[in-house]
């Protein structure tokens, strides 16, 4: 399992929030992939695979539409610092469809794609934490597999 007790961080608004380990794990996974020389397309594949796993973990409880609604909101909240996501926000509509996000990440450099995905995932987890609390968020995301269930590397070889 991914989650250990979270290190606490102070939020800007003087509010104690928790850095979710899943966000750290995702960043670490993508950084390691980039270190192997993977391009933005592979980074995007791996990121989308992770998002699919998050969707699979949450959608039985809140529905695919519930996950999509949270993702759209997270995209909008991340746009001020990562404007490239504006296109993805406009195109994300169908449940469990991360194609628009993949397209946005693919167009960036590996480094920027990792930073963008990291910021988006952080917003998503923050939003979920704000709604259902840290303990339950941690509990629900715990079922996300350590290794993406459909790794981008597989897609890389097939393309």
How many residues bind other proteins (CB under 8 A)? The answer is 19
The residue among 58 and 105 lying less far from other proteins, judged by its C-beta, is 58
Task: Please check whether residue 123 is in contact with residue 74, taking contact to mean a CB–CB distance below 8 angstroms.
Answer: yes
Site string for other proteins, 30-69 (x = CB under 8 A): -----------------------------xxxxxxxx---
Handedness of CA 148, 33, 115, 155 (dihedral sign): negative
Nearer to other proteins, 66 or 87 (CB): 66
To other proteins, the closest distance from the beta carbon of 138 in angstroms equals 8
For position 145 contacting other proteins by CB under 8 A, the verdict is: no
108 SS3 class: coil
| CB of 133 or CB of 145, closer to other proteins | 133
Assess 19 for contact with other proteins (CB under 8 A): no
- Contacts of 135-139 with CB under 8 Å at 24 or more apart are 137/20, 138/3, 138/6, 138/20
**Site track for other proteins across 125-144, x = CB under 8 A:** ------xxx-xx-xxx-xx-
| Residue 96 binding other proteins, by CB under 8 A | no
Minimum separation from the CB atom of position 15 to other proteins (A): 17
Residue 145, SS3? coil
Distance, CA of 140 to CA of 57 (rounded, Å): 7
How far apart CA 58 and CA 142 sit, in angstroms, is 10
Q: What angle do CA 101, 102, 105 make, to 5 degrees?
A: 85
Q: Which is nearer to other proteins, 131 or 154 (CB)?
A: 131
| 149 near other proteins, rule: CB under 8 A | no
Show the tokens assigned to 109.
């450099």
Name the site residues for other proteins (rule: CB under 8 A).
59-66, 95, 131-133, 135-136, 138-140, 142-143
């Amino acid at each position: 399992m991914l989650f250990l007790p979270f290190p606490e961080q102070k939020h800007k608004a003087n509010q104690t929030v928790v850095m979710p380990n899943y966000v750290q794990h995702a960043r670490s996974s993508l950084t390691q992939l980039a270190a192997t020389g993977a391009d933005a397309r592979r980074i995007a594949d791996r990121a989308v695979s992770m998002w699919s796993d998050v969707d699979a973990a949450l959608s039985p409880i809140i529905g695919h539409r519930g996950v999509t609604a949270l993702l759209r909101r997270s995209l909008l909240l991340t746009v001020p610092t990562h404007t490239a996501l504006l296109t993805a926000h406009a195109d994300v509509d169908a449940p469990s469809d991360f194609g628009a996000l993949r397209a946005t990440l693919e167009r960036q450099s590996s480094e920027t794609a990792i930073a963008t995905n990291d910021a988006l995932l952080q917003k998503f987890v923050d939003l979920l934490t704000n709604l259902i609390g840290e303990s339950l968020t941690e509990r629900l995301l715990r079922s996300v597999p350590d290794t993406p269930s459909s790794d981008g590397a597989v897609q890389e070889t097939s393309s």
